[in-house]
């Protein structure tokens, strides 16, 4: 049997194990090590299993993951989310659909300290959904807004998806984090425009709230000030070259801890819960990465990614047509696979193709993360949809899915704009101080 066929059967075996609910990290370790043994000998496979987990777990750049996760968990536990929502609502709550727009803006702000879509959806959903229910917002618009707004957590820096992508593709994590900033603002604006259009044609879906006074607006800005300082200091520090992403994550986590102490939410029980959640999330991400770093060499040995790249490069198709096909495949995969699973499973195959087409890997990483976001709200898996459903058990799942489709269209528009104008993503990374 040819190495290419062994690689193909390895992917099939991987998908079968995932359908049996085996954790993605364990499945990749199993398939990767067996495939490695078949192609390169059992002794080499055992050596890889003995060295890869330790060497990659001790990789310095991975320290950024637990630190950014810790910062996000501290931000969620300290009440930053409510302060953000109150600020956004004070400024746009009097618009038609203003509560929904405030939810999107506050999700974007919270994404800048959490780096997690699920954390953003849970934190902001607990704050925003009761308010939208109180003002009689349509259940579909309310739940769709929270589910879509939560996806900004893996686009606006810091983003665990960009960190994993950077490690697996050997791209600069600092540049990737900066590359997500303007696209994150663009997608936030497109979500707000979507809400404005929906409520323009159907005003009953999102009635306006009371107008806040200027004094109330200024007071709300003061409450959100500490969080904005944390974001500006950490991300701005990466941009001007003051510190590395790992140092930025450590400083951000420390500042979030200081804020928790300052506003009186820090106590032993809260700290214990935050640290436990951080360890659980970090262990899950590390297991996935270690599995990917065993599975990747197996695919490389099989020559399958290069053969696929050669086939696609040999087709008489425009590079952007091939890119559109790749994006469409990701959209379909997103209906059945969780985002991180998609990322680590497909990168060894897709990256050689993207390189052969001559596309910038930083720019492609931004497109890929937006497609992962689309998967977070796509049926039947749509993790963010199920997270929001858990917050409002009385709302049917079909209603939540009905509410997300206008935001899915906005994501597609964002991908098209980034394809036409790649500098939206590349301006900051290309101008950052070394």
pLDDT class for 24, splitting at 50, 70, 90?
Answer: confident
pLDDT tens-place string over residues 117-144? 877 888 888 888 988 888 889 999 999 9
- The domain segmentation of the chain, as residue ranges, is 3-431
pLDDT class for 96, splitting at 50, 70, 90?
Answer: confident
pTM, 2 dp: 0.86
Q: Which of 26-30, 140-144, 298-302 has the lowest average pLDDT?
A: 298-302
Decide if pLDDT at 352 tops 90: no
Task: Report the alpha-carbon distance of residue 2 to residue 31 in Å, rounded.
Answer: 17
Decide if pLDDT at 48 tops 90: no
- Nearest CA among 413, 418, 424, 405 for reference residue 148: 405
Provide DSSP, 69-122: HHHHHHHHHTTHHHHHHHHHHHHHTTSTTHHHHHHHHHHHHHHHHH--HHHHHH
pLDDT of residue 141: 94
Q: Are 110 and 84 in contact (CB under 8 A)?
A: yes
pLDDT class for 391, splitting at 50, 70, 90?
Answer: confident
Q: Are 85 and 127 in contact (CB under 8 A)?
A: yes
Q: Are 432 and 241 in contact (CB under 8 A)?
A: yes
| Percentage of residues in the chain having pLDDT higher than 90 | 22
pLDDT tens-place string over residues 146-193? 999 999 988 998 888 898 899 888 898 889 999 999 999 999 999 999
Q: What is the mean pLDDT of residues 250-261?
A: 89
Task: Report the alpha-carbon distance of residue 401 to residue 379 in Å, rounded.
Answer: 7
Decide if pLDDT at 434 tops 70: no
Q: What is the mean pLDDT of residues 390-418?
A: 92
- Nearest CA among 382, 377, 360 for reference residue 427: 360
Q: Specify the 3-state DSSP secondary structure of 392.
A: coil
pLDDT class for 433, splitting at 50, 70, 90?
Answer: low
Which residues have a Cβ under 8 Å from the Cβ of 20 and sit 6 or more positions away? none
Across the chain, what does the average pLDDT equal?
86
Q: What is the mean pLDDT of residues 354-370?
A: 92
């Amino acid at each position: 049997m040819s190495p290419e066929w062994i690689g193909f059967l390895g992917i099939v075996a991987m998908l079968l194990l995932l359908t049996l609910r085996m954790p993605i990290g364990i499945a990749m370790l199993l398939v990767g090590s067996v495939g490695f043994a078949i192609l390169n000998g059992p002794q080499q496979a055992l050596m890889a299993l003995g060295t890869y987990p330790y060497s990659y777990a001790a990789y310095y750049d991975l320290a950024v993951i637990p630190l950014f996760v810790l910062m996000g968990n501290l931000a969620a536990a300290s009440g930053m989310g409510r302060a953000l929502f109150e600020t956004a609502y004070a400024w746009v709550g009097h618009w038609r659909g203003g509560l929904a727009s405030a939810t999107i803006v506050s999700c974007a702000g919270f994404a800048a300290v959490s780096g997690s879509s699920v954390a953003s959806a849970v934190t902001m959903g607990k704050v925003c959904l009761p308010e939208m229910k109180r003002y009689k917002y349509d259940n579909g618009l309310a739940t769709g807004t929270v589910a879509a707004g939560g996806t900004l957590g893996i686009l606006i820096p810091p983003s665990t998806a960009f960190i994993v992508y950077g490690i697996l593709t050997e791209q600069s994590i600092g540049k990737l984090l900066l590359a997500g900033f303007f696209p994150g603002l663009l997608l936030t604006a497109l979500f707000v425009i979507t809400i404005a259009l929906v409520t323009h044609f159907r005003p009953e879906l999102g009635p306006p709230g009371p107008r806040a006074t200027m004094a109330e607006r200024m007071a709300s800005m003061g409450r959100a000030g500490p969080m904005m300082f944390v974001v500006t200091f950490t991300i701005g520090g990466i941009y001007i070259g003051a510190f590395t992403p790992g140092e930025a994550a450590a400083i951000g986590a420390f500042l979030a801890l200081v804020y928790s102490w300052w506003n009186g939410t820090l106590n032993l029980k809260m700290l214990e819960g935050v640290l436990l959640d951080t360890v659980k999330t970090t262990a899950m991400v590390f297991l996935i990465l270690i599995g990917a770093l065993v599975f990747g060499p197996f695919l490389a040995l099989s020559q399958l990614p290069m053969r696929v790249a050669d086939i696609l490069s040999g087709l008489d198709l425009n590079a952007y047509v091939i890119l559109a096909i790749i994006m469409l495949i990701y959209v379909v995969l997103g209906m059945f696979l969780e985002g991180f699973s998609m990322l680590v499973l497909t990168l060894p195959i897709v990256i050689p193709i993207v390189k052969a087409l001559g596309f910038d890997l930083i720019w492609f990483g931004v497109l890929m993360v937006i497609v992962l976001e689309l998967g977070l709200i796509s049926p039947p898996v749509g993790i963010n949809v199920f997270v929001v459903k858990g917050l409002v058990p009385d709302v049917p799942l079909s209603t939540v899915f009905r509410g997300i489709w206008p935001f899915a269209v906005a994501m597609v528009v964002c991908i098209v704009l980034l394809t036409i104008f790649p500098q939206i993503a590349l301006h900051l990374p290309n101008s950052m101080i070394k």
